[in-house]
Amino acid sequence: MQALEDAKAAGVDTVINIGDDAGDNQPGLDLAERMPGLRTTIGRHPHSAGEPIGADERRELRRLASHRSVVAVGEIGLDYHFTDYHRTPAKTQAQVFRQMLGLAQEVGKPVVLHTRDAFPDLLAILDEFPGVEGVFHCFSGNSAFAAEALARGFYLSFAGTVTYPTAHGVIGAASIIPLDHMLVETDSPFLPPQSRRGQPNAPRYLVETVERIAALRGTTTAEIAQRTRQNTIELFRLNHAG
């Protein structure tokens, strides 16, 4: 609750919680139902894609995805940036990703995409599901990948990484993409802006990302805030989420 109050004081009046797997999909929905100004998503993150989705889980996911407080299906996608903690085979990730894209098609809601070191494969799978819309969350690619995503009608969401001096690809993309397909986010508690490195991120720090993008594009913070706010409302249909 405090995080939402702090966010509102900073000008962020709606926060979207992200569901990653069965462990937090229902709790996220319960939270969104209790707290004004909070919406949520339901997903199966590629780090949780070790097993295909069975019939019972599919029914449960559809029930959750149909709820009025659930504004998208995600996080879903592909992650080939394997670590000692996340070594889910690419084949299994792709199977679960396709299952979740099919769910999004069925319930008519946008997707929140996660991708690391997997842009070509992810784009190829997206092409199997025409009509699905959504956003590349915490965009980490360069201008070339941005062009591929935009050509498919997707939004790109920029996080605190755009404030990092060495994030050249992300900075380049944020500097040139059309504002009508740009979103901003925190990915909190991860990826705090440069001035907060080493601290947990929080929704109220979104302002620093907006300020950085405005500086990159030679425009005002107010314009970036207004355009990305409107894009968020339109993509996630926040005026109709109940």
- Residue 38's pLDDT is 94
Which residue intervals of the chain are DSSP H helices? 2-9, 25-34, 55-65, 90-107, 119-126, 143-151, 168-176, 206-217, 221-236
Mean pLDDT per 10-residue interval, the chain, length 242 residues: 77 90 95 94 94 96 97 96 81 97 98 96 97 97 96 98 97 98 95 95 94 98 97 90 44
* Cα–Cα dist 112/208, whole Å: 22
Q: Taking Cα atoms as reference points, which of 200, 175, 205 lies closest to residue 190? A: 200
Tell me phi and psi for residue 45, to 5 degrees: -60, 145
Cβ-in-10-Å burial (0-12, 13-18, 19+) of 23 comes to exposed
Name the residue type at position 101. L
* Cα–Cα dist 30/38, whole Å: 10
Domain, as residue range, for 113: 2-240
- Residue 221's pLDDT is 97
Report the number of distinct structural domains present in the chain: 1
* Cα–Cα dist 182/184, whole Å: 7
**What does pTM read for this prediction?**
0.94
- Residue 241's pLDDT is 44
Question: Residue 138 maps to which CATH number?
Answer: 3.20.20.140
- Residue 240's pLDDT is 55
